[in-house]
Amino acid sequence: VPDNCIQDFCVANLNSSISVNGFPCKPDAEVTSHDFFFDGFSKEGNTTNVFGSRVTPGNVLTFPGLNTLGISMNRVDFAPGGLNPPHSHPRASETGVVIQGKLLVGFITTGNVYHSKVLTAGQMFVVPKGLVHFQLNVGEGKAHAFTAFNSHLPGAAVLPLNLFASAPAIPNGVLTKAFQVEDDVINAIKSKFGS
């Protein structure tokens, strides 16, 4: 067994034709210091969208050096009033720290208990694995936070987009029954997301 059988790192080869549940490693000879540093968080994300927020991911797809290490981060920017909409991460717990502004941070347990707090710079939160959560900018100005995950690719199921902007669309009959409303309400919501 070669002594590099368990490796210090496995910088992702994002272009491999090998299909596994993850990315294979770049050959050692091709690994450079560049693979272990990521510049993507130095700029504010563009919050000009319906939600008024932007998640900039620092995960294995943007920062291949994270591959197999079980960690990643996001930068999340908020316009005044901006919302990072209710979503869940199927593969990770999340922790985060507010850097600027004032955020209402909330999550809902599988027992439908809602936990929330308004956080300002320097304050931290945790969202247990898989639970639905959001952050809303309740301050006067912009806000931003950094979040961290115990997965190199936590995934995100964004509820409004999952339910109302999937392709192909979920049949209205499912959504009218689930939310106990008429077709026009479902159509109005779907139309907001361009479907």
Task: Retrieve residue 87's tokens.
Answer: 């979503």
Residues in contact with ligand GLV, counted by CB under 6 A, come to a total of 8
Site string for Mn ion, 78-97 (x = CB under 5 A): ----------------x---
- The DSSP symbol for 19 reads -
Maximum Cα–Cα distance for the chain, whole Å? 64
Give the dihedral of Cα atoms 77, 79, 82, 85; nearest 10 deg.
Answer: -30
CA atoms within 13 A on the CB side of 72: 26
Pick out residues in 100-119 that bind Mn ion (CB under 5 A). none
CB of 132 to ligand GLV, least distance (A): 10
Site string for ligand GLV, 83-112 (x = CB under 6 A): -x---------x------------------
The CA radius of gyration of the chain, in Å to the nearest whole number, is 19
CB of 183 to ligand GLV, least distance (A): 32
CB of 38 to Mn ion, least distance (A): 19
CB of 138 to ligand GLV, least distance (A): 15
Q: Does 74 bind ligand GLV (CB under 6 A)?
A: yes
Q: Are 27 and 35 in contact (CB under 8 A)?
A: no
Give the dihedral of Cα atoms 142, 147, 53, 183; nearest 10 deg.
Answer: -140
What is the binding site for ligand GLV (CB under 6 A)? 55, 74, 76, 84, 94, 133, 135, 147
What is the binding site for Mn ion (CB under 5 A)? 94
